[in-house]
Amino acid sequence: MGAKRNRKELSAAWAADELVLLRRSIWKADVLEGFVVDLDEDWVVLHIVYDVGLNGWSVVRLDTIRTVEREPANSFLPRALAHFGEQPALILADMTSGRDAIRSLAAAFPLLTIFTEARDPRTAAVGRPVRTGKNKLDLLEITADGTWDGRDPIRVRYGDITRIDVGGRYEQALHELGGYPPIPT
């Protein structure tokens, strides 16, 4: 599918409250399943479905999407979610640019998972932005065991960011175990 067709499919799925499956154009990138809750020129926001429940949001760069598959609103997963009282929810994110997205998401969530899948689809950085410069983000990382890394923040170019995850159970667990980053003395 082309970019225009993908945008059209995402917009139609959003209007119809349909579940979508996103296949990515990046080698070994995750296939994402969820509900479109926001869409702009360069980014789409999905409320992610994991197993039979909602699990955080993914903000995905549109130019990384190869195909969009829509599931009817009366298919199994939407019916199961309704049965358990779960409904997709909007998050407020300014998606004007990568920098604006990072700033608005960091204001609403304690931890962000930053993906640079075009560079390496197997890794992501989880942490708290400590500086949002003109072209780059400085991210203080939290480790996989929920402790704050004592190293200097990593630097990520906004143009390298392909996806940002927030509000999932993994990010929530890391935050609850690790808390906010320590204040430098």
Question: What is the per-residue pLDDT for 21?
Answer: 97
Question: Which residues, listed in sequence order, are joined to residue 38 by a DSSP beta bridge?
Answer: 45
Question: What is the per-residue pLDDT for 184?
Answer: 63
Across the chain, mean pLDDT equals: 94
> Tens digits of per-residue pLDDT, 24-37?
999 989 999 999 99
Question: What is the Cα–Cα distance from 107 to 102, expressed in whole angstroms?
Answer: 9
Question: What is the Cα–Cα distance from 177 to 89, expressed in whole angstroms?
Answer: 25
Architecture label for domain 92-185 = Roll (2.30)
**Same fold: 1-90 with 92-185:** yes
CATH class of 1-90: mainly beta
Question: What is the per-residue pLDDT for 1?
Answer: 59
pTM for this entry: 0.94
> Tens digits of per-residue pLDDT, 48-107?
999 999 999 999 999 999 999 999 989 999 999 999 999 999 998 999 999 999 999 999
CB 122 within 8 A of CB 145: no
